[in-house]
Structure 1
Amino acid sequence: MMDTTADRPVSAIDPFSHEFLRDPYPHHEALREAGPVVWLEQYGIWTMARHQEVRDSLIDWQTYCSSAGVGLSDFRKEPPWRPPSIILEADPPLHTRTRAVLTRILSPAAIRILRDMFEREAELLVARLVEQREFDGVADLAEAYSLKVFPDAVGISEDGRENLLPYGSMVFNSFGPRNDLFDRATANAGPVRDWIMSKCSRAALAPGGLGMQIFEAVDSGELSEPEAGMLVRSFLSAGIDTTVYGLGNALYCFARHPEQWSILRENPNLIRGAFEEVLRFEAPVQTFFRTTTKTVDVAGVRLGDGEKVLLFLAAANRDPRRWDKPDVFDVRRRATGHMTFGTGIHGCVGQAVARLESEAIFGALTKRVASFELTGEPTPRLNNTLRGLDTLPLRIVPV
């Protein structure tokens, strides 16, 4: 798999193959051990899989830019399939301006206001599922909850919300190559994209919601009307799938490690930290790209200007240089410093919402569920960027 030419480690690994995506961890280890930076010959790109280099690259936005796209394709050489995000795929000064609006709208005070609604909906959903005893952890919990509370908070009407998941799938698959996963995700792109755009206008949003608050920044002169619509679109593309995958992965971890669920039930104050450990151990967001803006030296290897760099967030999360027993799932671990939300100026702007959703759901579950049992083999949902499950058949033992 590996060979070293002159001064750079080279790998034939394909990080977008089905084999890799089904079980990335052995490949992550191979890439970490190959060196601080590795050349992926199939795509002609660099990759970093160690915690130190991934973190350093995310922080150094001047050298590793996002505006050329955070996927494999280079926006400076080929047109993107949709207008680039003015937050995710932007650099300062545009990014600074748009990020300031979202940071204010998702402030700690705003999150406190959402908490009651998120907890109420979590209690209702969990009560229903406990009565059922058996359910699918993805469709009946992770998707049902994420498609309810976050769109409610944004102010999206109920009709057509089933379009949110295929849209997220298109977005995250588009960060990889134009492979079968991308083709499948974009097969129905037109109608889904039209529905999303129709929900991103001022007229379509409920008063008082997060979406309308973005449009209020137009009235105060911080954004233009089209920019506000694009930021609402960013909410809808980044805020659903990632949480669905995160909640599904958490349920899977607790079904596979029942002793960890027992620890959590006895110490509910560990819930917040336990979700961070889920994000470290089974990262819903596995990778993001950057593009070099100049020649840069990484551990003695020279990266040219304008080169794509694939950052393995999930591999960094299990780097033994950073973590003790990285392949062990431990809810008592202090997992702060994981790379799943990124870091630096592009650290996930909605991470407080994701944490709130997880706290509400697992707070409700710890009160009512003694344990989870798998009633069948979970099936993976392969995606060029995300890692999670398509089905998770569960039976619960109530308290």
Structure 2
Amino acid sequence: MLMDGVPLLYEVPPILHQLRAVGVEMHYHPTRKYLRCLVIFFTFLFFMLLVYIPMFHSVRSRDDPVHAVSIAGWAHNRSRDLRLYVLPDNATAIIAQPDLCGQQLFLLIVVCSAVTNFEARAAIRETWASVASTSNNNTKTVKVAFLLGDPDNSTLQEQVEEESIRHGDVIQEGFIDSYNNLTLKTVMMLKWVHSYCTSAHFIMKTDDDMFVNINNLIKLLKVKGGPGLLLGTLICGAKPILDANSKWYSPRYMYAGRVYPNYVSGTGYVMAADVAQNLYRVALRTPLFHLEDVYLTGVCARKAGIRPRDYPGFTYGHRRMDPCVLNEPSVITSHRVDMTEMRKVWTRMHSPSLDCTAFAASQKPTSKASGKKVVSVRRPGNRCV
């Protein structure tokens, strides 16, 4: 009850929703603000972890062999001492062909071939390798041989032995024939040369999807050949590929460097006899690396003090399968050659009616300075030259 001049003993309390409004203004709003900040912070942290963790494992796998993706057949804890596999003091060849080289051999061409590639070897024998059996070139004898591994299959092995008896040009060593064993295969080639073919002045290594112009190669070696020669398509400044999905993946436990030494492409290169012997000796004391051209013509060549050199007649690319192109004096190799196509172009190359006059004119633009014709043979870009 109200009384004049007397203060009220109590007041009517504020309306509840007014108090809540004041509470929200004074207490609840700052709390919601802090919560919002925390949510943003933890969301940001979560996304940062999503990015960082894969990067951490990627870097860790590159530098830590335990966590790196292994090369098939060459895990980080497997010995890469080549002497354990090459057995330099033992005879390891399944098919040795000890009489293949003979006494006077100018050039030996060894084609590294997969066991199952019977058709590729047949096509090579019928085409560019047929020159070797007829080439004398002033007593400059040439032989072509095919190097195989062990198929671990009795049926395939019987077929290989029949092929060897029929043609006498198959060399077979006792290792599993696989892509990641190509280094082992090439070192086995050097072992065979060391054991059975010291009479050869030059040795060429190539693959069974290659075309080789033997006559042009002989002419080249007569001019540029000599001790210390290691010649092919020079590759400079190449970096190891750390992507495990790549065919050329190179984990750090296999190769710790950031850049490969200069090397020549394994699709086709030629070396002098002294280089073959030196590379073989150095390889026996150098840990295996599965990319054979990098290993042998890069890592081992550097250790041996051998300098790989470039010549544009070699290429790891595919040239146009035109008889006039392949008959160019500067052409030595072409890569990724289809065997059916090879047979066709080989027939055309040796046809009496072949006329390359128009082709030669188109490939020899006139030099403004001299007025002379300049030959231009194209191949894939190369930062070395």
The answer, yes or no, to whether TM exceeds 0.5 is no
Per the shorter chain, which TM-score range?
A: under 0.3
**Which protein is bigger by CA-based radius of gyration?**
2
Return the TM-score normalized by structure 1.
Answer: 0.27
Determine which structure has the larger helix proportion and give its number: 1
Return the TM-score normalized by structure 2.
Answer: 0.27
